[in-house]
Amino acid sequence: MADERRRVAGPVHVEGEVVATKRVGGYRHLTLTAPGLPERFRAGTFVAVSVAGHIARRPLWIHRVRASSAFGPTLDVVVQVRGSGTAWLAAQPVGTRVAVTGPLGRPFALPKDPVACLLVGEGYAAAPLFPLAERLRERGCGVSLVVSAPDEAGLLSALEARRSVRSVTVLTADGSVGQRGRVPDVVDDLVARSDADIVYAAGPTAVLASVAAAAERAGSWSQVAVEVPTPCGTGLCHGCALPVVGEDGVDRVVRGCTEGPVVRGDRVRWDALGAGS
Amino acid sequence: MSAPLPGPVMVAAGCGGTGRELEPFCGDDGLDGLHVVTRSITLDARSGGPGPRVVEVPGGLVNAVGLPNPGLEHFLATELPWLVRAGARVLVSIAGATMGEYADLARRLARAPGVAGLEVNVGAPDDVGAGLYEVREPFHSASVIAAVRREFASDRPVLAKLRPDVSRIVEGARSCHEAGATAVVIGNAVPAAFPDGRAGGLSGPAVAPIALRCVAEVRRAHPDVPTIGCGGVRDLASANAYLDAGARAVQVGTALLHDPTTVARLRATLRTTAHLPGPEETP
């Protein structure tokens, strides 16, 4: 029945609680309870969180889900302070109650076969690649992970991910950790070295565009998690325009939160998004 | 024969996605029996405006979404049947570039199974409704309503959604009602500007006192014109403010973007408080 399906698969809007908060590099990691939400999570989906005094929601990538903990099922999100809303969120102590909606959006599509996969993430937006790596490993896929940032403070730690991936490459623009460089400059080499059949990417638009183009050149599939300004996150407002080319070759504008955030890299009209590749 | 008035709680145009995205947040009833006003449908598909389309400001949102919609054909083939099957009472918001387009839309929708009524979008803020029929004067709105009413079944409601402009609303409401509007929805987004100066419309709690004043003025001048309050409705108190001012129903819009369960909660609350005249009690 449709009702049953909705209860199992659809997003929920619940009151969550901050049960842990930790500063990691330039970001704030929050662990939240949100009844019913972790169980529905799939890598690439996100949550929309209410922020005191604001109408628009704050979309946050889900970095990790724990099926059980002292607090029951929890989810981790990564907050980068960008304005008064995210500043409020990052400052909340344990015990703060927040309205959480999710999981929202289309997740990363997983291959049926155990193929080689390259995951490229930059900054806080790399968050959904970590649970993705675990899912891929469960399917027997060989995973190469690239985490990138302008500097060390912008990197998400790949320490824990090392268990689930074949190789980790750390890339910083200033060379403070790992290899010096930017994704667009080295992406062709990364794709070639990993011999990936599928390339997954999460990060700023310019990074996604370069990864999608490199995958195309190498004859690989790509899946990218696109960030566009998302006022509600639920698909209700049509505010998060994402220009794509449909399967039929026709230009369309879809909702980044509902038809995205994960889309095929070769379907995004990067120039219309303001990122020449 | 007079058309029944929808309500008491409705989903405002442009704030319910296609309906599918709202359904998971509507509790066990889902959309069943809920009056859902669709986003505005035009004859031809519109991809909407450039981003950013929605920007947060104190007390509300400034938006210029640009009426993205798949066009009438696609809507009739896919979105409408889904809404009908979900049990929603569908009021289709229509927008046109000419009076003829409004009439065309009304004619086609009158034949479509499951359309409970129409809401005529004649009050979109300037520029936001770029390419729409220009409605500067109350008689413009009224002539559109008359054109729509001629094409649409008289036993189903036609709502006129007007801009909450207090200097114009009394005349606008009266003329639309005389032209055949079952009720007047007050109001649409208030003409505003984005922080960068682009034209947009302001909606949300900041609009509530303005729309409330408009409802009260219409009530005072023309108590026989049914009004539906729209603007900043987010809970029982904000809904009751409109109802106490004389509105017969309320629409929930921007609040859904903040909390998608708002409509379901308000519906449940109003069911138990019995503050409102039900649709069946209205003349």
Specify whether the CB–CB gap between B260 and B22 falls below 8 A: yes
pLDDT at residue B4, rounded to an integer: 81
Cβ of A11 and B25 within 8 Å? yes
Closest CA–CA distance from residue B51 to any residue of chain A (Å): 7
pLDDT tens for each residue of A245-262? 998 999 999 999 999 999
Q: Spell out, as residue ranges, where chain B has pLDDT lower than 50.
A: 1, 274-283
Average of per-residue pLDDT values in chain A: 93
Say whether A101 and B260 touch across the interface (CB within 8 A).
yes
- Domain spans in chain A, listed from the N-terminal domain onward: 2-104, 116-267
What class has domain B9-39+71-190+208-281? Answer: alpha beta
Residues whose CB is less than 8 angstroms from the CB of residue A158 and which lie 6 or more positions away in sequence, other chains included: A145, A147, A168, A170
pLDDT value of position B272: 62
Distance from CA of A238 to the nearest CA of B (A): 7
| A223 labeled binding residue | no
Give the C-alpha distances (Å, rounded to integers) separating B103 from A6, A20, B6, B43, B97: 38, 58, 22, 11, 11
List the single residue in A13, A231, A253 with the smallest CB-CB distance to B47.
Answer: A253
Q: What is the CATH number of domain A2-104?
A: 2.40.30.10
Neighbouring-strand partners of residue B93: B119
Indicate the class that CATH gives domain A116-267.
Answer: alpha beta
DSSP tag of A210: H
Query: A228 vs B259: CB contact, 8 Å cut-off?
Result: no
How much is the pLDDT for A5? 47
| ipTM field | 0.91
Query: Which of chain A's residues have a Cβ under 8 Å away from the Cβ of B23?
Result: 6, 10
Tell me the longest C-alpha to C-alpha distance in chain B. Answer: 50
Helices (H) then strands (E): counts for chain A: 5, 15
| pLDDT value for A161 | 77
Residue B29, classed as helix, strand or coil, is coil
In whole angstroms, what is the distance from residue A242 CA to residue A264 CA?
Answer: 12
- When mean pLDDT is compared across A8-17, A22-31, A97-106, A172-181, the lowest value belongs to A8-17
Structural domain spans, chain B: 9-39+71-190+208-281
Quick one: pLDDT at residue A43?
97
B65/A238 CB distance under 8 A: yes
Tell the residue number behind the tokens 């696609």, with chain if given: B74
Q: Which helix (H) or strand (E) holds A252?
A: strand A251-255
Which residues, 6 or more positions from B88, have their beta carbon under 8 angstroms from its beta carbon? B19, B31, B32, B33, B34, B35, B36
